[in-house]
Structure 1
Amino acid sequence: MVPDIQTIFFDVGNTLRIVVKDQAFIDKAEADLMELIHTTESHDALFAKLEERWKAYRKMSKTTLLDASEGELWTQYMLPDYEPNMIFANAPRLTRLWRDHDGRRVARPDAVATLRELKKRGYTLGIIANTVTETEIPDWMAADKVADCFKVTILSSKVRLRKPDPAIYHLACRCIGTPEANCAYVGDNPVRDVEGTQAAGFGMMIRIDEPDTLNMEKATGKEFTPDHVITALSELLDIFPART
């Protein structure tokens, strides 16, 4: 039986948006971060330390399926050796600069048009994303004028829960008012996104084939099969016809 999908939730990183390597952008982000914390450490020493601590934090969060707030991330995990009040006050900016040191994040070319068409076809849209920043996704939604497309935005840094914990999916369904069986999820991670969606009892899971994600995803011994695999967001329009 084909599920009656009423609501479509989206991941954001490598699903709705991708990272574009822009060295000038990266260099400025790193310089701004160093200036913000008034560091006396060299560039290489500071960022080597931050990378090591970031990997340790990520390992912990993936094990516990819990995310820290931005203030906790920077005062407890990333820069505990710096003056805590200064770091806490600048935590949101530090998170954005840390994210920017990976590159410039931009929407996929067909993202905005696809979101608008799905809304026009009668679907309720939402976001469920693992993210350490509380402002980046809302700012993008405003900049690309798609904020009106989404009824609910669930960010792990705000609610503390992380995918694939089914609890974050259940929370999103309660907030948006749609039973899990009538929800679909679109994400890029072949393990985390598929596992969490299916464990939560969603009616459908669509994975977008993203090479960067597949290159980073280590083999876990787990295999999860999505309902659909797409290579472009516009292919969702073939899966979700207009609702009557």
Structure 2
Amino acid sequence: MNTDIRFIFFDLGGTFRVIKEDPAYLAAAKTKIAELCGVQVEDPCAWFDTVIDKRYDKYREWALKFMCEAPEEVLWTRWLAFDCDRDRILRNAGELTYQYRQTKGIRTVVDGGAETVKELCARGYTLGIISDLVGRREVDEWLDADGLRPYFKTVQQSSITYVRKPGPAIYYYALDEVKAQPENCCYVGDNLNRDIVGAKACAFGMTVTVQYDPSKPLKLTEENMPDAKVYTFPQLLDIFPARGQVATDKLILPTEGQ
């Protein structure tokens, strides 16, 4: 593990942002998707659950196998709504993907997340985002709405690069943009087999996993073993002191079952 960390990259879903389910919010998005597809059914939510979401499961298998994210138009015309009017789907692909994201719930920054990011910047670290997700619109809107864009010098999304973690390419895009060497970088994520494996494949100097629910044991292997873990996002401040200073707190080391 390299202690000369200058750059910190974050995963989004499950790491920097968490989902709150709201039945009315989910239902509105599912109904909107049926409308955008031109589908008229008595229960658009049931149609979404039994048709669109089941098809997304098949798409996800493909995406994980090939470490690839499909363009929005391909996602909908090939995988999710191939039996609907093609011109209509192509015209609405961006909005359809945006609404699909909303069917999973309301995404909010974890407790203390924004304050921690701002403090890490103040301590001299360069921050970035490397995240797997579908859709080009939602993350940009969120960064602007929450006023967080200035704190992230690179935002790499699989929906833009078309490559997914743990493939090294998306990490290298981030390194190139901020002109970083991997040994001076740390990656923080919640998925051991994507976030941590990918960062280690790029020879990042450090990896940290978040474990917000300690009751769920970590399934550790030699390949996905992070250097440290945190139970809350602000605990990152214990790991990363002001640049040029030495951390006084001991790292929380990941162990099987904890």
Provide the TM-score with structure 2 as the length reference: 0.88
User: Aligned AA for 1:235?
Assistant: Q
Could you report, residue by residue, the CA deviation over 1:173-225 in whole angstroms, capped at 9, with x for unpaired residues? 1111000110100111021111111111000111011449x69x9x7987521
Distance change >3 Å, CA 221–CA 9, structure 1 → 2: closer
Tell me if the contact between 1:11 and 1:188 (Cα under 8 Å) persists in the aligned partners.
yes
How far 1:139 moved relative to its partner?
1.1
Q: Percentage identity across aligned positions?
A: 35
Q: Structure 2 matches for 1:1-244, cutoff 5 A?
A: 2-41=2-41, 42-43=43-44, 44-211=46-213, 224-244=224-244
How far 1:86 moved relative to its partner?
1.4
Q: Matches of 1:210 and 1:154 in 2, distance apart?
A: 24
Tell me if the contact between 2:130 and 2:171 (Cα under 8 Å) persists in the aligned partners.
yes
Could you report, residue by residue, the CA deviation over 1:137-187 in whole angstroms, capped at 9, with x for unpaired residues? 111111111100011111111111110011211221111100011010011
Tell me if the contact between 2:123 and 2:242 (Cα under 8 Å) persists in the aligned partners.
yes
Q: Matches of 2:242 and 2:165 in 1, distance apart?
A: 29
Distance change >3 Å, CA 62–CA 179, structure 1 → 2: same
Q: Matches of 1:181 and 1:222 in 2, distance apart?
A: 19
Q: Matches of 1:220 and 1:96 in 2, distance apart?
A: 34
How far 1:128 moved relative to its partner?
0.5
Runs of 4+ deviating beyond 6 Å: 219-222
Could you report, residue by residue, the CA deviation over 1:73-127 in whole angstroms, capped at 9, with x for unpaired residues? 1111111111122112211211121111111111112111011001111110111
Range moving further from structure 2, 44-53 or 69-78: 44-53
How far 1:16 moved relative to its partner?
0.8
How far 1:40 moved relative to its partner?
2.2
Unaligned 5+ segments in structure 1 are none
Q: Matches of 2:169 and 2:32 in 1, distance apart?
A: 37
How far 1:45 moved relative to its partner?
3.2
Secondary structure of the corresponding residue to residue 8 of structure 2: strand
User: Aligned AA for 2:149?
Assistant: A
Range moving further from structure 2, 154-163 or 79-88: 79-88
Tell me if the contact between 2:38 and 2:84 (Cα under 8 Å) persists in the aligned partners.
no
Secondary structure of the corresponding residue to residue 145 of structure 1: coil
Provide the TM-score with structure 1 as the length reference: 0.93
With a CA cutoff of 8 Å and minimum separation of 6, indicate the structure with the bigger relative contact order.
Answer: 1
Q: Matches of 1:239 and 1:18 in 2, distance apart?
A: 22
Alignment: residue pair count: 241
Secondary structure of the corresponding residue to residue 153 of structure 2: strand
How far 1:37 moved relative to its partner?
2.0
Secondary structure of the corresponding residue to residue 166 of structure 2: coil
Unaligned 5+ segments in structure 2 are 245-258
